[in-house]
Amino acid sequence: MNTQTTPSPQFYLTAPAVCPYLPGEMERKVFTHLVGPRAAEMNDLLTQGGFRRSQNIAYRPACEACRACVSVRILAGEFEPTRSMKRVVTANRDLIATIQPAQPSTEQFALFRRYLDDRHQHGGMSDMSALDYAIMVEDTHVNTRLIEYRIREPGSGISDQPKGELIAVALTDMMSDGLSMVYSFFNPKFDKRSLGTFMILDHINRTRTLGLPHVYLGYWVKGSSKMDYKTRYQPQEQLMARGWERSLPPTTDADD
């Protein structure tokens, strides 16, 4: 009889640091490593429990005096786009999306740097190098993919090798109950396309096609205006003290 037990993940707590979302607040995180043959299984369980993945680390907030960060997931099978979302889909009907292995390219990194320099000049990722980007993409022990979005060149067919300008990329974990959007970026010169919205809508459609229920969006931070967009995708569930609960939809549907 085999009495050897399966190793359990070890959890650690970070030191307090300045919160990047709410002024005057300090943040702490609990984290564990996602490595080994059970990494994909653990990623599923931890994501369903409110964790997020960054490279081979799964983490969640563990702040002492604040509970503003709330995990959210879209119920893909019940989702109905709003009028403004339908306009976003129409505006991007010339895009072709392809799923790629989690392997970085110089083309992706150039787009990534352009996005950071325009949108996150003073953020924690602002000084990331090509090597840093490669590690962000490749350092995964779970089922991770890149989804590239290109403007279709005239005359190229659906089955052709994708051509055209790369304008958006999503780093996505393929989970047993849906898709988890780890990180996404896009060319800021195409503001009118609302590419951030389009990528979320595309993930909802992909999840529905797979017959899976959830698209995980990470954390909605109450009181942080830059996170308010996550509440627009309804119906959705938020992870509360008693488990996943349906949230109330926002009162307005503002465009991006």
pLDDT of residue 226: 85
pLDDT in tens, 153-186: 876 555 556 679 999 999 999 999 999 999 999 9
- Under 8 Å between Cβ of 205 and 57: no
Distance separating alpha carbons of residues 233 and 81, to the nearest angstrom: 8
What residues have CB less than 8 Å from 137, skipping those under 6 apart? Answer: 102, 103, 104, 108, 144, 146, 171
Q: Which domains does the chain have, with CATH numbers?
A: 12-69 (no CATH), 73-246 (3.40.630.30)
Q: What percent of the chain has pLDDT over 90?
A: 80
117 by Cβ neighbours in 10 Å (0-12 / 13-18 / 19+) ranks as exposed
- Tell me the H-state helices in the chain: 39-48, 83-91, 106-119, 130-138, 195-209
Strands 236-240 and 243-246: antiparallel
pLDDT band at 123 (very low <50, low <70, confident <90, very high): low
Residue 248: which region, alpha, beta or left (left: phi > 0; alpha: psi -120 to 50)? Answer: beta
How remote is the C-alpha of 254 from its chain's centroid?
21
